Amino acid sequence: MKRKIILSVFAFIVLFTLTGCGSKKETSKTEVKTNNNSVVLYFSATGTTKKIAERISRELNSDIIEIIPKEEYKEEDLDYNSDCRANREQNDSSARPEIKNKIDISKYDTIYLGYPIWWGMNPKIILTLLDSYDFIGKAIIPFCTSGSTDISGSVEALRQYNPKLNIKDGKRFAANSSEAEIIDFIDRNKIDKETSNKETSKMKVTIDGKEYTLNLENNDAAKKLVQLAPLEVTMEELNGNEKYIYLSSDFPVDSYKPGNIKQGDVMLFDTSCLVIFYKSFDTPYSYTKIGHIDNLPNLGSSNVSVKFESE
């Protein structure tokens, strides 16, 4: 009798366990996967840019983050026919309105950056954003809302403000822009991304104004560097044999211990530290090799300005 009871209890436990696993498996099928490499980041004072940003995010299936000012813009702050707050900020080159919320862009490679046009330009809070967070190595795709003013003036101003950033041409949207315009904007930038991902074996590297050729490895880390181009950075001196920079994006890794570093090797240390070696030496450390620069001279003891470009 006891044996029958024990068997019955055991059978019930097995049945319950299998049913539970089955339920979990069914749930996992309905999980929504987002475009985790992209984010829509926007500032909107009246709600117009917010609506466009939300439509872009839905089409991308991406995350979306609002840039919230510490001091909210009220109706009287946007009365452009008076000496309003927005006018004063736009006319003050030093104005940097504070951002209330903390923004984490570290996991994104592509930033769709949205803002309204104020007197032909981006609001000054966008400069606060660029000052506050590390956009190096990320593709920035701007979009704006405006009754008639094009986005090109603000894009050029942002490029001049920080020439190291990879800022694309972008697009202006009206409040009533069609779904077709939204989709076309996304598709054009998808094509750009696919083009940048095409296999290439070389890149142009400019170090303090002198051009060199980087011969790339056939691996995912090298392809990632191509995707980030054009990439302009300041690389710091270390150990009398290398220049390095920690980028804000993680790279795919395929690390190994080379034993010996060759002058001109371009390596990835850990997941985000890009290194150019300008001397040969033995090493016990592990790296992912990205490529090699032929005829690279001794780069000296100072930090250097470096620009990586697709050929």
pLDDT digits (tens, 9 = 90+) for 265-292: 999 999 999 999 999 999 999 999 999 9
- Reported as a pLDDT band with limits 50, 70 and 90, residue 31 is very low
Which is higher by pLDDT, 158 or 15? 158
> Would you call 83 exposed, middle or buried from its count of C-beta atoms within 10 A (0-12, 13-18, 19+)?
exposed
What pLDDT, on a 0 to 100 scale, did the predictor assign at position 7? 42
pLDDT at 8: 46
Dump pLDDT digits (tens) for 100-116: 999 999 889 899 999 99
- If you write DSSP's letter for every residue of 281-299 in order, what string do you get? EE----BEEEEEETT----
Name which CATH class applies to 35-195. alpha beta
Residue 24 pLDDT exceeds 90: no
If we measure between CA atoms, which residue out of 111, 106, 133, 53 comes closest to residue 250? 106
Predicted confidence at residue 36, as pLDDT, reads: 67
User: pLDDT grade, residue 188 (50/70/90)?
Assistant: confident
User: Which two structure tokens, joined as six digits, stand for 237?
Assistant: 């001196």
Domain parsing of the chain, residue ranges:
35-195, 202-310
Residue 191: pLDDT band (50, 70, 90) is very low
Task: Using pLDDT thresholds of 50, 70 and 90, give the confidence band for residue 35.
Answer: low
Give the whole-number percent of the chain exceeding pLDDT 70: 85
Whole-angstrom Cα distance, residue 303 to residue 256?
A: 27
Question: Can you give the pLDDT at residue 80?
Answer: 81
The topology (CATH level 3) of 202-310 is Cyclophilin (2.40.100)
Query: Is 18 a residue whose pLDDT tops 60?
Result: no
Quote the longest CA-to-CA distance of the chain.
Answer: 92
Give pLDDT tens digits for 119-166: 899 999 999 999 999 998 889 999 999 988 999 999 999 999 998 898
Residue 27 has a pLDDT of 29
Q: How far apart are CA 286 and CA 221, in angstroms?
A: 14
- Provide the residue count of the chain: 311
pTM here is: 0.59
* Kind and range of the H or E run holding 273: strand 273-277
